[in-house]
Amino acid sequence: MKVLITGKIENLVPSFNGLVDKNGLFVLDNDGDYSLTVDTGFSGGIALPEEILNIMNVKLIDFENFRLATGDEIELPVFWGKVIIKYNEIETWFVPGDSLLGMEFLSSAGSLLSFDFEKKEVKLLM
């Protein structure tokens, strides 16, 4: 198996880092400025704060209703864009919100998500 990216686990919260490159694409990279929580309860793509989405090369495609962990339903804009992980380009959808990596994105980007709590590492493998 090939490791696509290695992240960290702090206080039992797994996360990967990312950045927006000069082309407005989101890049999952250990040197990134933004920390994104791996959220196995989020079935979607990627949630990012609006200020990050505003500088990205994404296209508004729709508005959809989402159910939050609190049970509340909200309508959010849905954007389509690309993510780069180690020279792999993955198309996915984004919504404004907390910085989260959802299961739909993770399953399309890799085939195995590995948690090592002793080493405090999370890895996305292909």
Q: pTM of the entire structure? A: 0.93
At 52-79, the pLDDT tens digits run 999 999 999 999 998 888 889 999 999 9
Domain boundaries 3-125, corresponding CATH code? 2.40.70
At 4-41, the pLDDT tens digits run 999 999 999 999 999 999 999 999 999 999 999 999 98
* Residue extents of the structural domains in the chain: 3-125
Q: What integer pLDDT is reported at residue 68 of this predicted model?
A: 82
Report the 3 state secondary structure along the chain. Answer: CCEEEEEEEECCEEEEEEEECCCCCEEECCCCCEEEEECCCCCCCEEECHHHHCCCCCEEEEEEEEECCCCCEEEEEEEEEEEEECCEEEEEEEEECCCEECHHHHHHHCCEEEEECCCCEEEEEC
